[in-house]
Structure 1
């Protein structure tokens, strides 16, 4: 099914999702499942997430095969001109380097000198690693952390909380997120331009969810509690 469909009396937007627990989950229990799903409902549409590799997800959304893409950095509309960014962020994202070597520093210059792996289509990493001598790109996080666990790469670049969750799930030990994070960026929903009328409604819904305190409560319950961080 592609494009705008109908289900349960509401129009359905099919949005590409390259996230993982604790942000999105197969049973829709993730933080973004809850927050973005509620924002879509308030905007008068139903959210359906589909999983695609990161690069293909952007290409498909730009081509209108699906209706948009979730949780991407700002500025992609210049490279994918058919996409419109919903101007209210869904998340602050920590982009992190993972390694067994705790002596490494979490900065771009140090990372660029290592045998480093990242997921194809993660634009911030592609931009920062352009011209670096030893880079491997893969299609998904499972492949990425297997390479790191088997010492095929020295550093793996991913999102901080999703990396921590994946390592717990797979029983990977001895690998840590380097400090400080490589970058912290605001993340946004992008919609295909045919859905331009929905963009301001989604932005308003996200602002309301934050103002009501629902956003912070869900973040404590679905992210901080699962990652071992105690909310202040």
Structure 2
């Protein structure tokens, strides 16, 4: 009887030992990350790891990942590892970010490259590409903690323009009746997004790299992007 109990206990311990999970973070209203998360769910499943994702403010996500409180960040632009030294980039792009300027004043879009300090610009805290673009434009941004907060400020005329990823703008245009009438600019900057892991999981990097290289991500992405086309008209309305 004792031997049987030992075997059962050993079996349970073995299952627990090989049952692995990874917890990642992403922006709490960053629907852009839905596609990245979809790709990673498939990738981690292929290597037998359960993927859990928590939603937090965008800037906080990087801090949690870098400090090792969670295991990594779903996806970010390249070179953030220069600032967040504990993060390792999986060197296969899994998504992309395309920043646009959203506004209710279409005339402002004609001056996107020389917009002056008179106009009030909103930026979401933690979006590194947005910070780079606003610096290039030499315009101080009013920082907000999330996309929804920024859109609310634009709707209430507290800012004149808002820098957003196109995918996120498309989503809010489909669910916010006022914001659906906003206009958006041509691309101000477009970069691929990469998955980042804390360095304590460095042994997973080769496995994930190989799996992601073998996945036909472009086909997944085309299907996903096509679903957004009805939301966005070609003239930026």
Using the size of structure 1 for normalisation, the TM-score is 0.82
Report the CA distance shift for 1:122/1:50 in structure 2 as closer, same or farther (over 3 A).
same
Match of 2:7 in 1: none
1:84-99 aligned within 5 A: 84-99=88-103
Which of 12, 20, 26 is equivalent to 1:17? 26
The equivalent of 1:3 in structure 2 is: none
Q: How many residue pairs get matched?
A: 215
Q: Secondary structure at the match of 1:98?
A: strand
RMSD: 2.6
Alignment match, 1:226:
228
Check conservation: 1:22, 1:223, Cα contact below 8 A: no
Q: TM-score, normalised by structure 2?
A: 0.81
Compared with structure 1, are the counterparts of its residues 47 and 111 closer, same or farther at alpha carbon in structure 2 (3 Å cutoff)? farther
Q: 1:184 to 1:173 in 2, by over 3 A?
A: same
Say if 2:134 is the partner of 1:129: yes
Higher Rg:
2
**Contact map agreement 2:122 2:142 (CA 8 A) in 1:** yes
Which protein is richer in helix relative to its size? 2
1:175 paired to 2:182 = yes
Matches within 5 A, 1:51-66: 51-66=55-70
Gaps of at least 5 residues in structure 1 are 1-5, 25-29
- Which runs of 4 or more aligned residues in structure 1 lie more than 3 Å from their structure 2 counterparts after TM superposition? 19-24, 105-109, 130-134
With 97-106 and 143-152 compared, the bigger mean Cα shift is at 97-106
1:173-207 Cα offsets, whole Å, 9 max, x none, are 3212211x110101011100000111121121111
Q: Could you tell me how far 1:35 is from its partner in structure 2?
A: 1.4
Say whether the 8 Å CA contact 2:29–2:148 is kept in structure 1. no
| Of 101-110 and 219-228, the range deviating more from structure 2 | 101-110
User: What is the alpha-carbon distance in structure 2 between the residues aligned to residue 191 and residue 106 of structure 1?
Assistant: 40
| Structure 1 pair 219–156 and aligned structure 2 pair: CA distance change class (3 A) | same
C-alpha contact (below 8 Å) 1:39/1:205 kept by paired residues: yes
Matches for 1:144-223 after TM superposition, within 5 Å? 144-171=150-177, 172-179=179-186, 181-210=187-216, 215-223=217-225
- Cα distance 1:217–1:20, how it changes in 2: closer, same or farther (>3 A)? farther
Residues 118 and 144, structure 1, Cα contact 8 Å, conserved in 2? yes
Deviation for aligned residue 1:23: 4.1
The one of 113, 116, 129 equivalent to 2:121 is: 116
**How far is the alpha carbon of 1:125 from its aligned partner?**
2.0
CA distance in 2, matches of 1:75, 1:136: 24
Q: 1:228 to 1:50 in 2, by over 3 A?
A: same
